[in-house]
Amino acid sequence: MTDDAADAPHVATDDVARKLEAILLIVEEPQSLVSLAAAVGAPVPAVRQAIEALVDDYDGRAGGPVRGFELREVGGGWRLYVREELDDLVSEFVGGQAPSRLSQAALETLAVIAYKQPVTRSQVASIRAVNVDSVVRTLLARGLITELFTDAETGAINYGTTDALLVHLGINSLDELPHISPLLDGADEVAGDVFDGGARR
Amino acid sequence: MTDDAADAPHVATDDVARKLEAILLIVEEPQSLVSLAAAVGAPVPAVRQAIEALVDDYDGRAGGPVRGFELREVGGGWRLYVREELDDLVSEFVGGQAPSRLSQAALETLAVIAYKQPVTRSQVASIRAVNVDSVVRTLLARGLITELFTDAETGAINYGTTDALLVHLGINSLDELPHISPLLDGADEVAGDVFDGGARR
Amino acid sequence: MALSPDASTASATDGTGPEQTERVAETVEGFRVSLSNFDGPFDLLLNLISKHELDITEVSLSKVTDEFISYLRQLGPEEDLDEASEFLVVAATLLDMKVAGLLPQGELVDAESVALLEARDLLFARLLQYRAFKEVSAWFERCLRREERRHTRSVRLDEKYRNAVPELAWSLSVDDFAALALLAMTPKEIPHVGLDHLHAPLVSIREQAAIVVTLLRDAGTLTFRQLIAGANQPGVVVARFLSVLELYRHAALSFEQLEPLGELTLRWSAQRWSDENLATLGADYDR
Lowest-pLDDT choice from A145-159, B46-60, C46-60, C178-192: C46-60
Mutate: best of C152, C171, C177, partner B, most B CBs <10 A: C177
Query: What residue type is assigned to position A93 of the chain?
Result: F
Beta bridge partners of A69: A82
Residue B195 clears pLDDT 50, i.e. is over it: no
> Of B1, B66, B69, which is closest to A64 when you measure between CB atoms?
B1
**B86, A22: Cβ pair inside 8 Å?**
yes
**Closest Cα of chain C to A44: distance in Å?**
23
Predicted local confidence at residue A45, as pLDDT: 94
CB-CB: which of B92, B107, B200 is closest to C187?
B200
Average pLDDT for consecutive 10-residue bins of chain A (201 residues)?
Answer: 46 85 93 94 94 95 93 95 94 77 88 92 78 84 89 89 92 89 43 32 30
Query: Using a CB-CB distance cutoff of 8 angstroms, which residues of chain C are in contact with residue B144?
Result: 168
> Do residues A111 and A135 touch, judged by C-beta distance below 8 A?
no
A24 touches B at CB < 8 Å: yes
**CB–CB of A109/A129 below 8 Å?**
no
- Report yes or no: B130 and B199 within 8 Å, Cβ to Cβ: no
Closest residue in C to A196 (Cα) is C196
User: Residue C285: its chain A contacts at CB < 8 A?
Assistant: 201
Top-confidence residue, B65 or B141: B65
What was the pLDDT predicted at C79?
53
Distance from CA of A8 to the nearest CA of C (A): 31
Give the end-to-end CA distance of chain C in Å, rounded to a whole number.
17
- Residues facing residue B81 across a β-bridge: B70
A183: how many CB neighbours lie within 10 A of its CB? 14
Judge whether A107 and C21 are in contact, CB under 8 Å. no
Nearest Cβ partner for A143 among B22, B65, B105: B105
Does B94 reach chain A within 8 Å, measured CB to CB? Answer: yes
Contact A137 C42 (CB under 8 A): no
Identify the three-state secondary structure at position A7: coil
Which of C158, C170, C172 should we substitute to test contact with B (largest number of B Cβ atoms within 10 Å)?
A: C170
pTM for the full predicted model: 0.61
Contact status of A23 with chain B (Cβ, < 8 Å)? yes
B22: nearest CA in chain C?
C151
B83-92 tens-digit pLDDT: 999 999 999 9
Closest residue of B to A98, CA-based? B131
Q: Does the beta-carbon distance from B200 to C6 stay under 8 Å?
A: yes
Tell me, letter by letter, the H, E, C secondary structure of chain B: CCCCCCCHHHHHHHHHHHHHHHHHHHCCCCECHHHHHHHHCCCHHHHHHHHHHHHHHHCCCCCCCCCCEEEEEECCEEEEEECHHHHHHHHHHHHHCCCCCCCHHHHHHHHHHHHHCCEEHHHHHHHHCCCCHHHHHHHHHCCCEEEEEECCCCCCEEEEECHHHHHHHCCCCHHHCCCCCCCCCCHHHHHHHHHHHHCCC
Going from the C-alpha of A157 to that of each of A122, B198, C244, C287, the distances in angstroms are 10, 22, 29, 16
Q: Select from A67, A92, A97, A102 the residue whose CB has the most chain C CBs within 10 Å, as the one to mutate to test that interface.
A: A102
**Cα C65 from Cα C59, distance rounded (Å):** 10
Are B27 and C155 spatial neighbours (Cβ–Cβ below 8 Å)? yes
CB atoms within 10 A of CB C198: 19
The residues with which C257 forms a beta bridge, in sequence order, are C264
| Stretch 160-199 of chain B: residues touching chain C, C-beta under 8 Å | 168-171, 176-178, 180, 183, 190, 194-199
Confidence (pLDDT) at A168: 92
Higher pLDDT, C144 or C251: C144
pLDDT, averaged across chain C: 65
Residues 101-130 of B with CB under 8 A from C: 101-102, 107-109, 111-112, 114-115, 126-129
First to last CA, chain B: 59
CB C45, CB C127: distance < 8 Å: yes
Query: Using CB atoms, which residue from A19, A65, A82 is nearest to B17?
Result: A65
Q: What pLDDT digit, counting tens, does each position of C182-233 carry? A: 878 775 344 444 444 444 445 677 778 888 888 888 888 888 888 888 777 7
Longest dimension (CA), chain A: 73
Could you tell me what percent of chain C has a pLDDT over 90? Answer: 2
